[in-house]
A and B are shown apart, each in its own frame.
Chain A
C-alpha cells in the first residue's frame, strides 16, 4: 500500500499496526475482518489528515485519532459478534441434533421403531417416543437452514434468518412444553424409565440450545472484545511512556 498524500510511510505504518492490533484478536470471518480493517484504517487516516490540517503534527494527530478508533471498533465488533452469535448457535443446534439422533439410533431405539416420527399417529405429542423422535429432526432442519442462511450476505436473507430464529424459538418453547407435559403424564401413569429418559433428553436439548445461543456466543464475543481493547490500551500506554 502506498502512502497517502501528505502522510509519511511511518505514520501509515503506525496506523496499520494499530488497526491490525485492534482487529486481530476478534473472532471474525476472514472477509469481515479484512473489511473492518480497511474501513477502520481509512477512518483513522481521515481523522489524522483532518487533524494535520488543523495544525497538529503527524504524531499528535495519530495519537488523538487512535482514541476514536476504539469507539468505532466497539460498535463494529459488537455488530459482527451479533451476526456470529446466530451462526454459532445454529451450529451448536445442528451438532446437538445429530448427537441426539445418534444416541437414539444406537441406544434408545426399540427393535421395531424407526428413528423418525410416525406422523400418522393421531396424538403426536402424547407419545413420548414420537416427541423424542421428532424433536432432533426439527432441530436439525432449523440448525442447517440457519447455518446456511447466516453464512450468506445478511442483506439477501435477513427475512430468512429472522424466520429461522422464530422457528428455533418456537421449537424450543414446544419442546420444553411438550416435555413438561410428558413428565406430568408419566408421573400420573408411569410407563418406563426409557420414556422418562427420552423426555429428559429432549428437554435438555432444548434448554442447552437456548442457553448456548443466549449466553455462550455473547460471552465469547465480549471476551474477545475485552482482550483486544485491553491489549490496545496497554500498548498505547507503553508507547506514551516511551515518548
Chain B
C-alpha cells in the first residue's frame, strides 16, 4: 500500500489524471474509488487527504465543481478545466523526465576497481 506522504507533490497530478479518465463530472468518493481501482488497490487514500487537494486544485482553476442532485441528495461533482488539462500534460512530461533521470542514476552499476577484476 502506498502511503499518502509518499505521494506528496504528485497527488495533484494523480487526481487530474483520474478526472481526465472520467467521461462525466465525478464526486470525490468516486475519484478515490477510481484511484484505488486503477492502482490495483495500492492507492487507498482517505477523504481527509483528497478533499483538501481538490479544494486547492479548484482554487487554482485546474478543476471546476458544481452541485448536482444524485439519488435524492446533493452531490458536488468535479471536472477538469482546460487549464487543468494543460497542467496534466505538463505533469506527465515532468514525470517522464523524472523517471528517466532517476532510472538512469539508479541503473548505474559500480565499476570494478583496478586490480580487483578478473583477468
Q: Which residues of A contact B (CB under 8 A)?
A: 1-5, 35, 38-39, 41-43, 45-47, 50, 68-69, 71-72, 74-76, 79, 154-155, 158
Q: Which of B59, B61, B73 has the most CB of A within 10 A?
A: B73
CA distance A72 to B74 in the complex (A): 17
Indicate if the CB atoms of B72 and A2 lie closer than 8 Å.
yes
Indicate if the CB atoms of A42 and B73 lie closer than 8 Å.
yes
Would you mind naming 6 contact pairs between A and B with Cβ atoms under 8 Å apart? A2-B72, A5-B71, A35-B67, A38-B74, A42-B74, A47-B29
Q: What is the minimal beta-carbon distance from A221 to any residue of chain B, in angstroms?
A: 15
Indicate if the CB atoms of B47 and A79 lie closer than 8 Å.
no
The interface residues of chain A, by DSSP majority, are classed as helix
Indicate if the CB atoms of A4 and B72 lie closer than 8 Å.
yes
CA distance A39 to B27 in the complex (A): 9
Interface Cβ pair total, 8 Å cutoff = 62
Return chain A residues, CB-CB under 8 Å to B97.
Answer: none
Q: Which residues of B contact A (CB under 8 A)?
A: 27-30, 33, 46-49, 51-52, 55, 58-59, 61, 67, 70-76
Indicate if the CB atoms of A1 and B72 lie closer than 8 Å.
yes
Indicate if the CB atoms of B47 and A68 lie closer than 8 Å.
yes
Return chain A residues, CB-CB under 8 Å to B72.
Answer: 1-5
Known: A42-B70, A46-B29, A72-B48. 9 other contacts (CB 8 A): A4-B72, A35-B67, A38-B75, A39-B76, A41-B73, A43-B28, A46-B30, A72-B51, A75-B51
Return chain B residues, CB-CB under 8 Å to A47.
Answer: 29
